[in-house]
Structure 1
Amino acid sequence: MSVFNSSRLHNKNVLITGASVGIGAATALLFAKAGSNVILAARRVDALTVVADACKAAHKESGVQAGGKFAVVQLDVSDRKQIASFVEKIPEDLRKVDVLVNNAGFVLGVEKIGDISEDDMEAMFRTNVFGLISVTQQFVKDFRARNTGHIINIGSVAGREPYAGGGIYCATKHAVNSFNGTLLRELVDTKVRVTEIQPGMVETEFSVVRFRGDKSKADSVYQGLQPLVAQDIAEEIVWAASRPPHVNLAEVYVLPVNQASPTLSYRGN
């Protein structure tokens, strides 16, 4: 028997924030192939529509006779008003969410403490921390009432060890780690599962955004080693969601083979 039992994901309703690109988009595709229904949420509806079409094609190609429902919902997780009305925008037949993937998040700049702009600080905290918590609060009561569900938070190596030039981003990901631990403890008397995926270097739009569109600086982050890609993290997310109901992967720490910490890597390859 295969250790990956995708039938456990059949007809599950999966909500993914930040689903328009990178890890979120790759995760949506894998859940589609596994026979889940997927609600794709992000700011850019045009990009979400492209991902939704790719999910439909992936589901059809898989031949799985389950799932196949895909919904696109515009959501800026930094906007409290949008979060408050978000559930009402989900098609009624998909509102009983089974798996929530809190993926939306980003980093801006490498300025050191003392030189970080207030706008950058606020933007990162509003999305990475307040947004993640607020979205979770929209669903956790229903999870508890139904005594089922799975909350998967995307953390980071930066949430385990801080580094110079990452003062605000590291602080936000440490907050995610702490929030995940609190959820784990508060839901211990239920069958609701709580997971944090903690990636190291993943080559997506992440560094391009960090360097404010400077692709050459972004590329330099990964020079000399083979970084992770979005598909690698998507596989860990779907793997965690596909475990038997009594198994909870509380933390999954994923690094490229030549990275040992945020500041320790081997670039001789």
Structure 2
Amino acid sequence: MKQKIAFITGATAGIGLETAKILAENQFKLILTGRRKERLDQLKTDLEKEGTQVITLCFDVRNKAEVEQALAALPEEWKKVDVLINNAGLAAGLDPVHQAAIDDWETMIDTNVKGLLYMSRIVSNWMIEQQSGQIINISSIAGIESYPNGSVYCATKHAVNAISKAMRIELAPHNIKVGTISPGALETEFSLVRFKGDQQKADQVYEGFTPLNARDIAESIYFVLSRPAHVNIADILIMPTAQGSARDIFRK
């Protein structure tokens, strides 16, 4: 039986890191990307000790030329990708639209939307050649419900959902599954990045309740990937028990 190849973007932390671990545990070969080479190198070392075959690619998904160059350089046998997990994404800032930094908007749009498109454009063609594959796009509860001070982040995740729905229709004739995973309140580096390294602000986001963790989402990703060939999970919304909506969290 062919060992499946999974391609994970944003694999140096959070959901991407935990997904790499759980797929390694289940005998996937892995292509892992990220912007932090030291972390990629350490992850490769750790996973290879457990017997997993790993290729790492250090580039920024926002940069179309870097994406194209890195993917073109992959050995041909590694281009037979079975799974693409578009996980690289971020929020930057938490300000009303009339006060937000335009640089933050561009960072979110370039990463969450354009980066996903650059990756999908190339890898989906590899999948079409083999008439099989599965793409999972990591979205957010913010792609379902908008909240104040998050207008552009919410817009990017609404875009991820819209793109995913269209991709599912476009790629179904080629036997390619497309789905989204939408986490609610999730404690990773997400808030630390959003608040530009302010640990106190990041910690306050999760005070008074138990948030999701990256392993929760990784396990859900593996569940989706482990369904029979005729089953496609189109979307999963996952929230911590204390969360009722994008804005409503019960804190003790």
Distance 1:238 1:198 in 2: 14
Counterpart amino acid of residue 84 in structure 1: E
Structure 1: 5+ residue stretches without partners: 1-6, 61-67
Structure-1 residue corresponding to 2:83: 99
Query: Offset at 1:198?
Result: 0.3
**Matching of residue 174 in structure 1 with residue 158 in structure 2:** yes
Identify which range, 137-146 or 220-229, moves more after superposition: 137-146
What is the CA distance between 1:217 and its match in structure 2?
A: 0.7
- Whether 1:43 and 2:35 are equivalent positions in the alignment is yes
Count residues with an aligned counterpart: 252
The one-letter code sitting in structure 2 at the alignment partner of 1:229 is: N
Partner of 1:240: 224
Distance, in Å, in 2 between the alignment partners of 1:93 and 1:184 is 25
1:15 and 2:11 are equivalent in the alignment? no
Partner of 2:47: 55
CA contact (8 A) 2:80 2:130 kept: no
Structure 2 match to 1:199: 183
Offset at residue 94 of structure 1 (A):
1.5
Q: Equivalent of 1:113, from 97, 100, 106?
A: 97
- Map of 1:226 onto structure 2: 210
Q: Write the distance in 1 (CA, Å) between the matches of 2:79 and 2:128.
A: 15
What do residues 37-74 of structure 1 show as CA deviations (whole Å, max 9, x unaligned)? 001101111111111222223x34xxxxxxx2101111
Deviations 1:18-55 (A, max 9, x none): 00111101100111010000011011111111112222
Q: Percent identity?
A: 40
Q: Distance in 1 between matches of 2:174 and 2:229?
A: 11
For the residues of structure 2 that align with 1:169 and 1:223, how far apart are their CA atoms? 22
The answer to whether residue 5 in structure 2 is matched with residue 28 in structure 1 is no
Bigger Cα displacement from structure 2, 141-150 vs 252-261: 141-150
2:248 aligned with 1:264: yes
- 2:182–2:236 contact (8 Å) kept in structure 1: yes
Contact 2:86 / 2:135 at 8 angstroms: preserved in 1? yes
Deviation for aligned residue 1:139:
1.1
Does 2:149 align with 1:165? yes
Equivalent residues of 2:134, 2:177 under 8 A apart: yes
Q: Tell me which amino acid in the other structure corresponds to 1:107.
A: A
CA distance in 1, matches of 2:188, 2:16: 11
Unaligned residue ranges in structure 2 (runs of 5+): none
Native 8 Å contact 2:109 2:156 kept in 1: yes
The structural deviation recorded for 1:137 is 0.2
Following the alignment from structure 1 to structure 2, what is the Cα–Cα distance between the partners of residues 89 and 25? 23
Letter in 1 for 2:10: G
d(CA) in 1 for partners of 2:129, 2:75: 21
Q: For the Cα contact (< 8 Å) 2:21–2:47, is it kept in 1?
A: yes
Q: Deviations over 1:109-157 (max 9, x none)?
A: 1110111122111111000000101100011122123210000000000
CA contact (8 A) 1:19 1:25 kept: yes
Superposed, which structure 2 residues align to 1:133-144 within 5 Å?
133-144=117-128
The answer to whether the Cα contact below 8 Å between 1:148 and 1:192 also exists between their aligned partners in 2 is yes
Which stretch shows the higher mean deviation, 247-256 or 44-53? 44-53
